[in-house]
């Protein structure tokens, strides 16, 4: 296996700013930040790195929540991190990523938000099930994928920002 990336915590200042923007308060922010768990694989054969919830969340049918993970990732060029819901949560509750698949490009690491990874998940159940996620529970997984570019590609621009930063 190639080693192509390293997960890191974003700064406390960036996390506080993003948490406030998402939830409107910073109650207990020190403990939330200090308890952030780095993504990990569950077994030696796992492809996905589990991302963990920083708090308890309850997501009712049709509701969504944007979760600031407190995590960034430094990825080698030629690789991307793809984010999916944990398969068990998708199977049992139809937990979905709001953008279907989260794409974390290698140049996102240098963005002005420190490359903070957010995951917006939705309870898309058709069985009226509520998803309960306890603090520290794995809720999505990231898989590193190598990619190529065309022979005539001449792009030199670099991103600065998250969702929509490249024009959409």
Confidence of residue 158 (pLDDT cuts 50, 70, 90): confident
Q: How far apart are CA 26 and CA 20, in angstroms?
A: 6
Per DSSP, the three-state class of 128 is: coil
For the stretch 117-150, pLDDT in tens is 999 999 999 899 999 999 999 999 999 999 999 9
Query: DSSP secondary structure string, 7-52?
Result: EEEPPHHHHHHHHHHHHS--TTHHHHHHTPPPPB-SSTT--PEEEE
What per-residue confidence (pLDDT) applies to 1?
85
Give the contacts of 76 (CB within 8 A, at least 6 positions apart). Answer: 4, 5, 106
Q: What is the residue whose two structure tokens read 């974003």?
A: 10
pLDDT(167) > 70 = no
Query: Average pLDDT for residues 29-49, to the nearest whole number?
Result: 97
Find out whether 55 and 144 touch, Cβ atoms under 8 Å: no
For the stretch 86-107, pLDDT in tens is 999 999 999 999 999 999 999 9
Query: Which of 71-80, 107-116, 150-159 is least confident?
Result: 150-159
- HSE, CB side, 13 Å, CA atoms: give it for residue 121: 33
Show the tokens assigned to 126.
């058709």
C-alpha closest to that of 71 among 147, 138, 2: 138
Query: Average pLDDT for residues 9-14, to the nearest whole number?
Result: 98
- Considering only residues 166 and 75, tell me which one the structure prediction assigns the higher pLDDT: 75
pLDDT(163) > 80 = no
What per-residue confidence (pLDDT) applies to 7?
98
């Amino acid at each position: 296996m190639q080693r192509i990336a390293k997960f890191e915590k974003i700064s406390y200042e960036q996390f506080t700013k993003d948490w406030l923007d998402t939830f409107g308060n910073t109650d207990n922010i020190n403990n939330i930040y200090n308890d952030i768990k780095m993504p990990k694989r569950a077994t030696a054969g796992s492809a996905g790195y589990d991302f963990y919830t920083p708090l308890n969340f309850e997501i009712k049918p049709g509701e969504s929540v944007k979760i600031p993970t407190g995590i960034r990732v430094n990825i080698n060029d030629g690789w991307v991190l793809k984010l999916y819901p944990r398969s068990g949560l998708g199977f049992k509750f139809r937990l979905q990523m709001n953008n279907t698949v989260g794409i974390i490009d290698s140049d996102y690491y240098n963005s002005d938000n420190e490359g903070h990874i957010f995951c917006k998940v939705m309870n898309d159940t058709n069985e009226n099930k509520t998803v309960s996620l306890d603090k520290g529970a794995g809720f999505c997984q990231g898989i590193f994928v190598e990619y190529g570019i065309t022979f005539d590609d001449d792009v030199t621009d670099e991103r600065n920002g998250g969702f929509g930063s490249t024009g959409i």
